[in-house]
């Protein structure tokens, strides 16, 4: 048997073999990744704290008396005082504002769901001239700032005679989030395989039956996400109500609460804080109970 020659430690072969295991660079990458994650957690923690401070201030303000708020506007209340909430519920106009919010929000959500479902299905399944241009037009509509179209929108509402009704809010609300809704519904329809539609058409379904009985049950999580996102956006809207609605009798809940307790010569901040809590409570409860469905819908759309 021939004896093997010893390996020279300084040979190029050993150098090339040792370079295949860069231990130090891998360790450095792990440390860099950990530092990046730690920086991200720190940044979002600070951002969350900045957003929670005003909410905490409003909650503490709602449980103070007016005299206590003037003497100590930032500190904690000495006791839980529910007088502000009782005075708020005693207002007769509160039920009117609440009813206006329910009618306007639900009507706008229904219009968005129906229109975005039909438009999303057409853009996902049909090929026609101008398809990309139409889809881009929907997306561009959501990028235009509201202040740019505010005066033309006001004049248009006046010209068609909708200024004195809740339709002056329902139609602009529905158009406000239509681009996002169409984009999401188009993505949901594109995740469904065409074999299901082909089987339904072979069984005798027409287009409307196909959408209603076959496609809608399959995209129910996505439609729920669209409904919740648009509901939250419409329920908390304040600016358009002040511009498009001429009478306080047609105000929604956020604008109505502001008109009741924010005057020209003074503001009752504790009752105003209680009104803000009452106004945002439905959206908080909705998100708390439907957050699993929202995550499921976003996951369904990203497949």
Report pLDDT digits (tens) over 262-301: 666 567 788 888 888 888 888 888 888 877 777 766 666 5
pLDDT at 302 (0 to 100) = 56
The answer to whether 183 and 139 are in contact (CB under 8 A) is yes
Q: What is the largest CA-CA distance in the chain?
A: 108
Tens-place pLDDT, residues 148-181? 888 888 899 989 888 888 999 999 999 888 988 8
Q: What is the pTM of this model?
A: 0.77
Percentage of the residues of the chain whose pLDDT score is greater than 90: 12
Q: What is the DSSP string of 221-283?
A: HHHHHHHHHHHHHHHT--HHHHHH--SGGG--HHHHHHHHHB-SS-B-HHHHHHHHHHHHHHH
Mean pLDDT of 133-138: 89
pLDDT at 1 over 70: no
Burial (CB < 10 A; 0-12, 13-18, 19+), residue 37, is: exposed
34-43: per-residue pLDDT in tens? 777 788 788 8
Q: What is the mean pLDDT of residues 117-138?
A: 89
Residue 193: phi and psi, rounded to 5, are: -70, 150
Decide: residue 246, CB within 10 A, 0-12 exposed, 13-18 middle, 19+ buried.
exposed
Q: What angle do CA 300, 228, 167 make, to 5 degrees?
A: 135
Topology of the domain covering 83-301: MetI-like fold (1.10.3720)
Between CA 56 and CA 42 the distance in angstroms is: 20
Q: What is the pLDDT of residues 40-88, one digit of tens each?
A: 788 888 888 888 888 888 888 888 888 888 888 887 888 788 888 888 8
pLDDT value of residue 289: 81
Q: Which residues contact 12 (CB under 8 A, 6 or more apart)?
A: none
> What are the extents of the domains in the chain?
19-62, 83-301
Nearest to 186 by CA among 301, 109, 303: 301
Q: How many helices (H) and strands (E) does the chain have?
A: 16, 0
Q: CA-CA-CA-CA torsion for 166, 168, 173, 178, nearest 10 degrees?
A: 120
pLDDT greater than 50 at residue 18: no
Strand partners of residue 267: 262
Above pLDDT 70, what percent of the chain? Answer: 85
Average pLDDT value for residue range 188-198: 86
Q: Are 258 and 238 in contact (CB under 8 A)?
A: yes
Residue 258 CA to residue 238 CA, distance in Å, equals 9
Please tell me the total number of residues recorded for the chain in this structure.
303
CB–CB of 229/177 below 8 Å? yes
> What is the pLDDT at residue 297?
66
The answer to whether 110 and 181 are in contact (CB under 8 A) is no
Q: What is the pLDDT of residue 100?
A: 93
Average pLDDT, the chain: 81
* Surface-to-core class of residue 174, CB atoms within 10 Å of its CB (0-12 exposed, 13-18 middle, 19+ buried): buried
């Amino acid at each position: 048997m021939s004896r093997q020659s010893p390996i020279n430690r300084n040979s190029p072969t050993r150098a090339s073999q040792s370079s295949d295991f860069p231990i130090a660079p891998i360790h450095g990458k792990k440390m860099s990744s950990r530092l990046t994650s730690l920086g991200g957690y720190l940044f979002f923690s600070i951002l969350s704290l900045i957003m929670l401070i005003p909410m905490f201030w409003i909650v503490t303000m709602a449980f103070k008396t007016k005299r206590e708020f003037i003497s100590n506007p930032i500190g904690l209340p000495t006791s839980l005082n529910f007088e502000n909430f009782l005075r708020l519920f005693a207002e007769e106009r509160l039920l009117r504002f609440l009813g206006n919010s329910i009618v306007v929000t639900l009507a706008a959500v229904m219009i968005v769901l129906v229109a975005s479902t039909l438009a999303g299905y057409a853009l996902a399944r049909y090929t026609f001239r101008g398809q990309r241009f139409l889809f881009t037009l929907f997306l561009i509509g959501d990028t235009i700032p509201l202040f740019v179209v505010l005066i033309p929108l006001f004049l248009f509402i006046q010209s068609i005679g909708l200024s004195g009704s809740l339709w002056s809010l329902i139609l602009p609300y529905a158009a406000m989030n239509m681009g996002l809704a169409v984009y999401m519904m188009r993505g949901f329809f594109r995740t469904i395989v065409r074999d299901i539609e082909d089987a339904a058409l072979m069984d005798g379904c027409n287009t409307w039956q196909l959408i209603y009985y076959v496609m809608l049950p399959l995209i129910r999580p996505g439609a729920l996400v669209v409904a919740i996102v648009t509901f939250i956006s419409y329920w908390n809207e304040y600016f358009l109500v002040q511009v498009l609605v001429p009478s306080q009798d047609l105000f929604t809940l956020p604008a109505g609460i502001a008109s009741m307790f924010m005057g020209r010569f003074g503001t009752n901040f504790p009752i105003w804080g209680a009104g803000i809590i009452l106004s945002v409570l439905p959206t908080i409860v909705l998100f708390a109970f439907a957050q699993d469905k929202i995550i499921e819908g976003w996951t369904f759309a990203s497949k």
